Amino acid sequence: MGITEPVTSCQSEAIEGATEVEGGFQMKSVMFVRGLLAIMLLLALGAIPGCGEKEQTQSKSATVSKEDVKKEVKEAYDATKAFTQEQMQDFLEQTETRLAEYKKEIDQLQERAEKLGEDGKAKAEKQLTILRQKQDEVAEKLKDLSSSSENAWEQVKSGVDAAMEDLGNAYKKAAAEFSKS
């Protein structure tokens, strides 16, 4: 519709209706924004007293005494020490059990070696001597482990692990040699 065209009565009513709708919409928008601002203001006012409480709580926890700290550190130390000792004991028991199993297996190899001929028996005795030496090494390292401090036990444990692995490899090699004979 151009500027020079006359406005009909239907168009005039439609334009007035649109203005009223726009005016109603503007009114609702203003009321919504005011309501939103009021809610935000109430929330902000409610949060201010909460901030002060947190500061008071923090200042209370900041006044922890030396005795409290010492007590907590001692409790943590005792718990760590007990856990480490428990781990040591479990490891010792598992390793001793495995060492006893190797002893039985070595004894079985010894019985098999006695049934071999002279040449095979000599080779078997050499293998068995090596196995028993490695078994003694593990037993000695276990003694070191049981007498070591909690601080050094990880280092001693790795030595025991290495010795057990060495014994296991030597046993496998000897068992393979016995199978050939």
Domain extent at residue 165: 66-180
Q: How confident is the model at residue 181 (pLDDT cuts 50, 70, 90)?
A: low
Tokens 């482990």 locate to 145
Please give the tally of structural domains in the chain.
2
**27 pLDDT above the threshold of 60:** no
* Spatial distance between the Cα atoms of 16 and 22, rounded to a whole number of angstroms: 10
Q: What is the mean pLDDT of residues 122-135?
A: 89
Residue 102 placed within a domain: yes
* 77 and 150 assigned to the same domain: yes
* Spatial distance between the Cα atoms of 14 and 18, rounded to a whole number of angstroms: 6
* Spatial distance between the Cα atoms of 115 and 34, rounded to a whole number of angstroms: 103
* Spatial distance between the Cα atoms of 171 and 99, rounded to a whole number of angstroms: 12
* 127 and 105 assigned to the same domain: yes
* 171 and 110 assigned to the same domain: yes
Last residue of a domain, which of 63, 83, 104?
A: 63
Please give the pLDDT value at position 18. Answer: 42
* 93 and 149 assigned to the same domain: yes
Residue 35 placed within a domain: yes
* 92 and 149 assigned to the same domain: yes
Q: What is the mean pLDDT of residues 142-162?
A: 81
Query: What does the CA dihedral 120, 123, 128, 131 come to, rounded to 10 degrees?
Result: -140
Residue 142 placed within a domain: yes
Calculate what percentage of the chain has a pLDDT beyond 70: 65
39-77 residue pLDDT tens: 766 666 565 555 555 555 555 556 788 888 888 888 988
Residue 12 placed within a domain: yes
Question: What Rg do the C-alpha atoms of the chain give, in angstroms?
Answer: 43
**79 pLDDT above the threshold of 70:** yes
Which of 6-15, 27-36, 126-135 holds the top average pLDDT?
126-135
Residue 1 placed within a domain: no
